[in-house]
Amino acid sequence: MNWKNILTIAKKDWIEVRQNKYALIPMMIMPVIFVVLLPLIFTLILPGLNIGAEEVLTADADIQVFMDRMPQELSQYVDLQKPMESMIVVTLGFMFAPMFLIIPLMYATTIAAESFAGERERKTIEALLYTPATDADLLLGKVMAAAIPSMLVTWLGFAVYTLILNVMPYRFFQRIWFPLPTWWPLIFWITPALVVMGIALTVLISARVKNFLGAYQTSSSLVLLVVVLFTGQLSGVLYLSVRVQMVLGVFLWICTLILGRYAVRTFNRGALLSGQT
């Protein structure tokens, strides 16, 4: 492997993503919504409304089911004697957690789709045939172009989310309470698996579609996995405890390695150029 070629390819892809408004706009908006706006609404605006936290905890059917079925591993962090604190912990600390996975998935699939299918759409992919980079250098460079920003934005977003959840509702908690233990495997174990899985899937799809939007829309179907996790936790069927997440992470990494290995074996610049299966 030639790391100079790999980094050159990655830097080129980062520049091209910034020039694609279809890729850049969602990548700028989504983190703001999930990392900043939603936690601010819950921690700053809702407490100021005439809505009693006790009413929300007892009247909302979804929250009631979630709390009734909550295992001891999670319920130990909820103090029902403090309704507003409990509402924040349940909604932003537990229920909202799976939705945070949308950020790395969106970044990984968007950049990978732009990096692979976007090359063909812009008619720049022919130039790859004349570079000294091997297929391995080319693939690794494009994987790095998608994986590194995805993880950096996720970790940065996690830091901002942590800051907001500790500063804004401090008058209720009077302590630093976030992150909860359940967030560490979510951010550092499950998220990398989803990022690599999204990139591997996009590599496979990009050899079969003609443009960026086609590759992006198809590979974005992985968001359905996040919806399943969110729905399962909301309904009380699946709780993302540390133990459950470690097991889920193992399953995702196995699927990711299988999919990634197949993507590496089938990848070549000729297929990417022609768009043939």
99-123 tens-digit pLDDT? 888 888 888 888 887 777 767 666 6
- pLDDT more than 90, % of the chain: 22
Q: What is the mean pLDDT of residues 167-185?
A: 92
Domain count along the chain:
1
Of 109, 190, 119, the closest CA to residue 143 belongs to: 109
Asked if the model's pLDDT at residue 276 lies above 60, the reply is no
Average pLDDT, the chain: 81
Cα–Cα distance for residue pair 183/167, rounded to 1 Å: 18
Which of the 8 DSSP states describes residue 228?
A: H
Helices (H), the chain: 3-18, 21-31, 38-40, 53-59, 61-68, 72-75, 83-88, 102-121, 135-167, 170-173, 183-185, 191-206, 212-219, 223-234, 242-266, 269-274
> Mind listing the pLDDT tens digit for each residue in 121-171?
666 666 666 677 777 788 888 888 889 989 999 999 999 999 999 999 888
Of the ranges 34-48, 54-68, 180-194, 252-266, the best mean pLDDT one = 180-194
* Residue 236: band (very low, low, confident or very high) from pLDDT cuts 50, 70, 90: confident
Task: Give the per-residue pLDDT at 277.
Answer: 42
pTM of the model: 0.84
Higher pLDDT, 265 or 180: 180
> Mind listing the pLDDT tens digit for each residue in 23-56?
677 778 888 988 999 898 888 876 665 555 555 5
Domain that holds residue 38: 3-274
Asked if the model's pLDDT at residue 180 lies above 90, the reply is yes
Task: Give the per-residue pLDDT at 247.
Answer: 95
Residue 49 to residues 60, 101, 245, Cα–Cα distance (Å): 17, 29, 35
Task: Give the per-residue pLDDT at 221.
Answer: 74
Task: Give the per-residue pLDDT at 254.
Answer: 95
Cα–Cα distance for residue pair 107/195, rounded to 1 Å: 8
